[in-house]
Amino acid sequence: MDLVIRNASEVVTCDGPLEARAEETLGRLPNSVIGVKNGKIAFLGPESSLPASNATIIDARGGFVGPGFVDCHTHVVFAGDRSDEFEQRCQGKTYLEIAAAGGGIARTVSATRKATEDELVALAKPRLGRLLAQGVTTAEVKSGYGLDVRSELAMLQAIRRLSAEQPIELVATFLGLHAVPVEFKQHRTEWIRICIDELLPLIVKSGLATFCDAFVEQSAFTHDEARMLGERARELGIPLRLHVDQLTANGGAQLASELGAVTADHLEQITPDGIAALKRSGTIAVLAPTSTLFAKARPFAPGRALRDAGVPVALCTNCNPGSSNSESVSLAMGLACVENGLTPAEAYLGFTRVGALALRRPELGRITVGGPADLVVFACDSYRALPYHLAMNEVSVTLKAGRVATHTT
């Protein structure tokens, strides 16, 4: 063994049956130690069975150990600041009113276009550092603040570089259909054509993104426009995700289901028909409760109804400058319990096992012998303490691929 984690209250493997009650899926193992070799989990079991070695010891000091968190929806690569829009929302303006007046995504696009790739990398690093401090070991990052060919590619290049230059593994998503760029307002179909016929094939060929995505909303794109993207994505073999039913009820969940999207994200305004559609297609619901809070986009998504209908529910920070200026996994988990109606076990799975499935990375978000040693040692002794200690950080040590990435105590 290279490294052994001992003296944990329990190991929460998240490796129980997925169809079972969340508390069973957690697969909690008391009195277990974890052995790590070559970045993988090599041993999981009682200390008495651990093969002798002169491994580095991490003493969990009675805290619990779980898989590294997977934050499956972020926009952490951007330039600029929109604190004035937050102030306007606090004074009563809505997210959509601010966007209609030229603010919103367009503001961040204009700042991001002016930034160099080096600047985008430098600006994103501290955000990723804060996610890492929260126990995140894998994160998805979207483009969508460039919205011209050069700037979208610069964002994706920045994501690729960031994945190599700091501990969190990044999964890139091409979000060319995030907003209609100002210069295409009078001929939006031309921007959609550029995304679908030029950028998407290039991105697939160069492997610059793993997913593509579109924002279906009255301020952004229509069903038919997202359908064009979805059909082209299917031809090119790149899986689709969709931002839907966030600010207005737009039947987006049904669209995500029709297009076979891997995930339908946001869902504050989803209807019972939308929930049934997600269940039929096996589409994962990704909830972003910090953005519901921050964008004042009530109600919170019906997490309870989604879970009760058998829809897998993942959680994310949705860290971005407009609707969720937060890297707090702990706040997202707390809100998921208090406002989305999830139990602490369901919320924990949303950032682990189900979050990993949202990125089609089933080996992540769980602790299995032979699996990656992406691990978090917590200062508290139970997963329940995470949403209960609202918005506080209980992470003590984070390991990515068997290496200590943060150590805060």
Q: At closest approach, how far in Å is the CB of 328 from ligand NIG?
A: 15
Task: Find the radius of gyration of the CA atoms of the chain.
Answer: 21
Element (H, E) at 38: none
Q: For residue 245, how many C-alpha atoms fall within 13 Å in the half-sphere facing its CB?
A: 29
Determine the distance from the C-alpha atom of residue 180 to the mean position of all C-alpha atoms in its chain, rounded to a whole number.
24
Which listed range, 14-22, 63-71, 102-110, 190-198, lies at the site for ligand NIG (CB under 6 A)?
Answer: 102-110
Q: At closest approach, how far in Å is the CB of 104 from ligand NIG?
A: 5
Which listed range, 13-21, 100-108, 154-162, 183-191, lies at the site for ligand NIG (CB under 6 A)?
Answer: 100-108
Which listed range, 103-111, 125-133, 155-163, 327-335, lies at the site for ligand NIG (CB under 6 A)?
Answer: 103-111
Please say which residue, 257 or 320, places its beta carbon nearer to ligand NIG.
320
Contact 216, 222 (CB under 8 A): yes
Q: At closest approach, how far in Å is the CB of 340 from ligand NIG?
A: 16
- Cβ atoms < 10 Å from Cβ of 360: 14
Residue 104 makes contact with ligand NIG by CB under 6 A: yes
List 181, 230, 322, 371, residue binding ligand NIG (CB under 6 A): 322
Residue span 240-259 as binding mask against ligand NIG, x where in contact by CB under 6 A, dash where not? ---x--x-------------
List 64, 215, 221, 351, residue binding ligand NIG (CB under 6 A): 215
Residue 226 makes contact with ligand NIG by CB under 6 A: no
Instruction: From residue 298, give the alpha-carbon distance in Å to each of 163, 218, 252, 270, 279.
Output: 34, 17, 17, 12, 23
Which listed range, 132-140, 152-160, 275-283, 316-324, lies at the site for ligand NIG (CB under 6 A)?
Answer: 316-324
List 16, 230, 321, 371, residue binding ligand NIG (CB under 6 A): 321
Q: Which long-range contacts (CB under 8 A, 24 or more apart) does 218-224 make?
A: 218/96, 218/247, 218/248, 218/250, 219/96, 219/99, 219/100, 219/104, 219/179, 219/247, 220/105, 220/177, 220/178, 220/179, 220/180, 221/177, 221/180, 221/192, 223/250, 223/251, 223/252, 223/255
Q: Which residue is nearest to ligand NIG (CB)?
A: 322
Strand-strand pairing, 65-67 and 56-59 = unpaired
Please say which residue, 173 or 291, places its beta carbon nearer to ligand NIG.
291
Give the phi and the psi of residue 125 in degrees, each rounded to 5: -55, -50
Interface residues for ligand NIG in 177-196 (CB under 6 A)?
none
Q: At closest approach, how far in Å is the CB of 249 from ligand NIG?
A: 15
Question: Which runs of E-coded beta strand occur in 131-210?
Answer: 136-142, 169-177
Element (H, E) at 278: helix 272-281
Which listed range, 48-56, 124-132, 229-237, 318-326, lies at the site for ligand NIG (CB under 6 A)?
Answer: 318-326
Token readout for 174 is 């091409």
Q: At closest approach, how far in Å is the CB of 229 from ligand NIG?
A: 15
Q: For residue 352, how many C-alpha atoms fall within 13 Å in the half-sphere facing its CB?
A: 30
List 12, 76, 105, 172, residue binding ligand NIG (CB under 6 A): 105
Which listed range, 114-122, 191-199, 313-321, 346-354, lies at the site for ligand NIG (CB under 6 A)?
Answer: 313-321
Indicate the angle between helix axes 149-165 and 105-114, nearest 10 degrees. Answer: 80
Residue 291 makes contact with ligand NIG by CB under 6 A: yes
DSSP 184: G
Q: At closest approach, how far in Å is the CB of 320 from ligand NIG?
A: 5
Contact 120, 112 (CB under 8 A): yes
Residue 326 makes contact with ligand NIG by CB under 6 A: no
Residue 289 makes contact with ligand NIG by CB under 6 A: no
Residue 108 makes contact with ligand NIG by CB under 6 A: yes
Give the phi and the psi of residue 260 in degrees, each rounded to 5: 65, 35
Q: At closest approach, how far in Å is the CB of 42 from ligand NIG?
A: 38
Residue 323 makes contact with ligand NIG by CB under 6 A: yes
Question: For ligand NIG, how many residues bind (rule: CB under 6 A)?
Answer: 13
Q: For residue 212, how many C-alpha atoms fall within 13 Å in the half-sphere facing its CB?
A: 28
List 112, 210, 320, 352, residue binding ligand NIG (CB under 6 A): 320
Please say which residue, 295 or 333, places its beta carbon nearer to ligand NIG.
295
For residues 67 and 74, what is the distance between their CA atoms, to the nearest angstrom? 19
Footprint of ligand NIG (CB under 6 A): 75, 104-105, 108, 215, 243, 246, 291, 318, 320-323
